[in-house]
Structure 1
Amino acid sequence: MYSVILTELGISVFNDGKLDKAFSFSNPVKEYLLVKSKESKLNELVNYLASTQRGFSISDESLLAILKKYSIDCHLMDESELDTVQTNKPQIIVDSGFASNLQDTLGKLREFALGLSSSIVTEVSQSPDLHIIQAINSLDEIDKIANGLSSRLREWYGLHFPELDNIIDSINGYAQIVIAGKRESLTKKVFEEAGFPESKVEMLSLISSKSRGGDISDINLVIVQSIAKQVLEFHELRKKLEEHVENEMQEIAPNISAILGTAVGARILGRAGSLKKMASMPASTIQVLGAEKALFRALKTGSQPPKHGLLFQHAMVHAAPRWQRGKIARAVAAKAVIAARVDVYGEGLNQTLLEKLNIRVGEIGKKYENPTEKDMRPPPTFSREGGSFRDSPRREGGRSRDSGRSRDSGRSRDSGRSRDSGRSRDSPRRDSGDRREGGSFRDSPRRDSGDRREGGSFRDSPRRDSGDRREGGSFRDSPRRDS
């Protein structure tokens, strides 16, 4: 019986346990990966097996698929044979002539493992979805930096031309005016080149001549103009990144782009880690991506969990009424997961996903057109305790946690110290009985029927002459006074 065995260093053909032919790999890592990906041709092996015209037992599924393409009569080994091959693989490599001895075999297998791991890391790093994640993260960081510089630019140049801040909303146009120089040098041509309409050009020309701002030195003006140039460069870079993300998402994940949009889809892809990881996530996880803090706080305190995370930026969720957002976010997340799986394991754009999503959102809008009583309830309030927000549940009888304190809680803890401040800790106690509360002793009249626990209920207990019970602590025996 002929058997064909795939090893890390080559392919061996055995006949009844004896080596018949061996085909070594010149580049073990590369050729092994080609066989595993079913892309290798293996012309020499195919010609040899075709000339033999026998049935062959194959040790690897990928190798079996390649040989069947050439109509080679072969089948896969059973589990016992595969276990035997795996156990005796070092000896098979030596018998095939791929290594001189077992020690040499282990050394070559180690080199193969290192090369294989390096090639896998390289392959993963070349994944296009990871580059999309880096691009969208860069876009968000550029927005933060540009917004900070824009605020600084408006504040600094506003000392010289304060009226300009209230008239111009676009930071791009504002930066172009700053680059033009001082307000005295601003002409209608400058405003027109910045892209303002005729009506606003006349207004800016009039205001620049009557501005109440102070003068700015040439040194400060040069620095402010440098900031304005940086803002414009960031603006151009942002446009390029946005266009790049849109093109890459349309090519790599067309179905996600159709369901979520390119920007929201790329941000959710970044939170998930990769396209394959997103495809393996449930819809409930996709729904709350970006709201991890709120989710963990809800799990800790038992409050309402978040209804959406980054999906709030989706047009369908953002434009929906408050009581419909959670249901629409769940529908969008469910279709987004299916879209991710189609992008990973399928091909092309599936138009039915978006159509079904629109139908589902329409059904939600009709069914939940008006809010229910539960939807109209105000959100739960949180009280700050111990460094975290927690729901403050009411105790039985409508009392809060601190409602059981004494009626004299308005007094300070040390209000009862003046009477007994001269008495040491070990001095004999009065027979009338003192109760320690909040770190001080208070004189209280002795009851015949027992002592009342402040903030609690009456407890019938025999009166002690030898001492009192420390509240929240243990009994302490004190010397008994002579009655």
Structure 2
Amino acid sequence: MAVLVTKWFGVFLADEKSNRVIAYRLMPKDAEACAEKLAEVQRGGILPEERELAQGRQRLSVGDRRQAELGRPMLYDSSYIVPEDYGFGGDFMHEVMLDLGRLRTSEPMARDKNLVQAIRSLDDLIEVSNLMSERLHEWYGMHFPELADIAKDDRYAELISRFGDREGVVEELGLDIESMGADFEPDDMRAVQGLASGLAEIYRERKETEDYINAVVADVCPNMCAVIGGPLSARLISLAGGLERLASLPSSTVQLLGAEKAMFRHLRSGKLPPKHGVIFQYPDLRKAPYWQRGNIARALAGKVLIAAKIDEYGGEFAGDRLNSELKKRIAEIKKKYPDPPKKKPRQDGGRPNHKGKGHSKGKGKRRP
């Protein structure tokens, strides 16, 4: 049986039993042209040379899953095909690889890759804003502690940044309130306002990043958005490292994305395994009683994976249908498992184990 093998210096048709090259087509001796061929291979395309050698062969095996449309993929050791036998040396390979690297890095970036970076940027902004907000509340709370009950988050930072003294804040809000806080010196107040101004700017950046993420998600993965919404779709894509990788994962892995620490803890110490990861943010899963969450999480992960595959590989929009099927499945789970499972009785009848503390070993003689 013939095996089709592609290497950086050419495409080869080899005999599986004798390890002999039957036919071959070499790559161009121009480094840039050779790099373009290899870039097409890395993108998952089929080279014209591969189609030419595979043409007319009924029983053909291929050494790469990328070539599956040409034949049956198999593991084949082609190490005996070396570049020096065909006039290709190490210096030329070095030149080709440099051109290949430049070519691939200059290619347009998929939008889901930008989405991954945007989600991580948003996480950083949330972490920084939480820390700064905690510091601002503690610092300005010595001057006007009552404001924390009146204004929240970005509004709190904006009021302090604009007015500083509690008199200006009270006037802006139209309140009649007597504060228990202490007075600040002008220099102290300017320092607090500087912190508040920086925090207000971070809140504005958070809002802009969230708007950008929602717009990209709606464009990149409309089916996932229809099933679980934009923010959760973006979070799953970020955890997976991209939409392409998410679409290639098994549903059990999608179900546990974001719960890696809990899974490692289970494997290390034998504690109960997690039932779900970040998909716990899905409202119907979060609100469900604990004994229904495992089944709901499995159903949700399955539909999310189908939606991700459709979005990645360009199928027709099916988000509304998937969402309807998911809602129906969740209703069936709730109907089938309305009550928590009953605890199984202990096999030993509940008697305590006396092999703990106070149990003496090796003392006395065993009765016959």
Q: TM-score, normalised by structure 1?
A: 0.59
Structure-1 separation of matches of 2:278 and 2:43 = 40
2:304 is equivalent to residue 398 of structure 1:
no
2:103 & 2:355 partners in 1: Cα distance?
62
- 1:258–1:91 CA distance, 2 compared to 1 (3 A): same
Q: Which residue matches 2:226?
A: 258
Counterpart in the other structure of 1:114: 98
Gaps of 5+ in 2: 1-5, 12-21, 63-76
Structure 1, residues 436-464: CA drift from partner, whole Å, max 9, x if none?
xxxxxxxxxxxxxxxxxx46763169xxx
**Structure 2: how far apart are the matches of 1:79 and 1:373?**
55
Pick one of 136, 153, 158 that aligns with 1:171. Answer: 153
* Residue type of the alignment partner of 2:48: L
2:33 is aligned with what amino acid? P
Q: Aligned residues: percent identity?
A: 33
- Structure 1 residue 143 corresponds to structure 2 residue 126: yes
Q: Distance in 1 between matches of 2:280 and 2:142?
A: 38
Q: Distance in 2 between matches of 1:161 and 1:262?
A: 38
* Higher RCO by CA contacts (8 Å cutoff, separation 6 or greater): 2
Q: What do residues 407-430 of structure 1 show as CA deviations (whole Å, max 9, x unaligned)? A: xxxxxxxxxxxxxxxxxxxxxxxx
The answer to whether the Cα contact below 8 Å between 1:10 and 1:25 also exists between their aligned partners in 2 is no
Partner of 2:68: none
Q: Name the aligned partner's letter for residue 150 of structure 2.
A: I
Aligned length in residues: 335
The structural deviation recorded for 1:303 is: 3.2
Note the C-alpha offset of 1:32.
2.0
Contact map agreement 2:259 2:276 (CA 8 A) in 1? yes
Displacement, 1:164? 1.8
Question: Match for residue 330 of structure 2?
Answer: 361
Would you say the 8 A contact 1:10–1:24 is kept in 2? no
What's the TM-score, normalizing by structure 2?
0.75
Question: Bigger radius of gyration, 1 or 2?
Answer: 1
Kept after mapping to 2: 8 A contact 1:8/1:28: no
How big is the alpha-carbon RMSD for the aligned residues of Structure 1 and Structure 2? Answer: 4.2
Cα distance between partner residues in 1 of 2:168 and 2:305: 57
Letter in 1 for 2:181: G
Q: Distance in 2 between matches of 1:350 and 1:364?
A: 23
Report if aligned partners of 1:9, 1:25 keep a CA contact under 8 Å in 2.
Answer: no
The match for 1:129 is 112
1:296-316: CA deviations, max 9, x gaps? Answer: 222333332111111111112
Matches within 5 A, 1:73-472: 75=56, 87=81, 105-120=89-104, 123=107, 126-168=109-151, 170-178=152-160, 179-186=162-169, 188=171, 190-191=172-173, 201=174, 204=175, 206-207=176-177, 210-351=178-319, 352-374=321-343, 398-399=352-353, 402-405=356-359, 454=360, 458-459=364-365
Q: Is the 8 A contact 1:317 1:325 kept in 2?
A: yes
Deviation at 1:8, TM superposition (A): 6.4
Q: Distance in 1 between matches of 2:142 and 2:57?
A: 81
AA aligned to 1:159 is: M
Structure 1: tracts of 5 or more residues without a match:
1-5, 12-16, 41-60, 68-73, 95-101, 192-200, 378-393, 406-453, 462-483
